[in-house]
Amino acid sequence: MIICAYAGLAVTLAMALAWVVQRQAGNAGWVDVIWTGSSGIALAGVALAAPGAPWRHVMLAALLVAWAGRLGGHVAWRVATSPEDTRYAMMREAAGERFQAQMLGLVAGQGSVTGLLAVAVYLAAAQPAPQPRFADMAGAALLLLALAGEALADQQLRAWRAKPENHGGICEAGLWALCRHPNYLCEALAWLAYPVIALVPERPVTWLAFIAPALMFLVLRYLTGVPPLEAAMLARRGDAYRAYQARTHAMWPRWPGVNG
């Protein structure tokens, strides 16, 4: 699985460029665009280079390109047409002159994240069954459904924000009524597709494919996703956002009338 290390190294180099780009542009959001695009390309390369059935390699590479295109395109449009992401804006204000040093530290570790994700992609691509199985179709369907859910959450938030009467409020439309970060939930679920495809219970190494969904959940829920975004929302919305927190979960659907 040395190819996984190469994928991580390639993205590390891309993120060095991303640091320069965001510094010149004055908008740190470009690091997210470049991480998504470079990771999609690197991981698709891992899928194509793995041993196993060529049809599975092509399927996984196509899914990875679809993931990178959907997410990267959405983030790129938002970065190009909107003010700097609230997370980075708050980080910039708090860090002052140390902001660029902090950004360099942030981007330096993102290649390692891709390298770990590559393990799951490699194990899925190297799955030894020569013919399509139910697990292959289930994994692909899960990833596509997760991408559709993420796109729906983004569209619902965009439509809600477009209405002047919602200015200064909190979006609870559609999926946003079920949990506070449905887009993050769908992103984490998308990576569950790879262990679904890779897993052969009697082969212990294939259990390593669960690194991908576990890692993405941890990063989004406890590191660069939920915590800084919620800190910003609390600063801007105060008690109204605290009330939203009290009636919804962060990244797990809380069905009204079923589980409170």
- pLDDT tens-digit series, residues 59-104: 999 999 999 999 999 999 999 999 999 889 999 999 999 999 999 9
- Taking the C-alpha atoms of residue 251 and residue 260, their distance in angstroms, rounded to an integer, is 15
Q: Is it the case that residue 259 has pLDDT exceeding 80?
A: no
% of the chain residues with pLDDT over 70: 98
Q: For residue 208, give the nearest of 109, 117, 130 by alpha carbon.
A: 117
Averaged confidence pLDDT in the chain: 94
pLDDT per residue as tens digits for the range 235-253: 889 999 999 999 999 999 8
Q: 3-class SS at 82?
A: coil
Q: Is the pLDDT of residue 124 over 80?
A: yes
**256 pLDDT tier (thresholds 50, 70, 90):** low
The most distant pair of C-alpha atoms in the chain lies apart, rounded to whole Å, by: 57
Domain residue extents for the chain: 2-247
Looking up tokens 């991480």 gives 35
pLDDT band, very low/low/confident/very high, at 257 (cuts 50, 70, 90): low
Sequence letter at residue 166: N
> Residue 260: its pLDDT value, please?
41
E-state strands within the chain: none
pLDDT at position 249, please? 94
Q: CB under 8 Å to 114, separation ≥6 — which residues?
A: 7, 8, 11, 35, 38, 39, 42, 43
Tell me, rounded to whole angstroms, the distance of Cα 102 from its chain centroid: 21
Residue-wise pLDDT tens digits, 207-240: 999 999 999 999 999 998 999 999 999 988 999 9
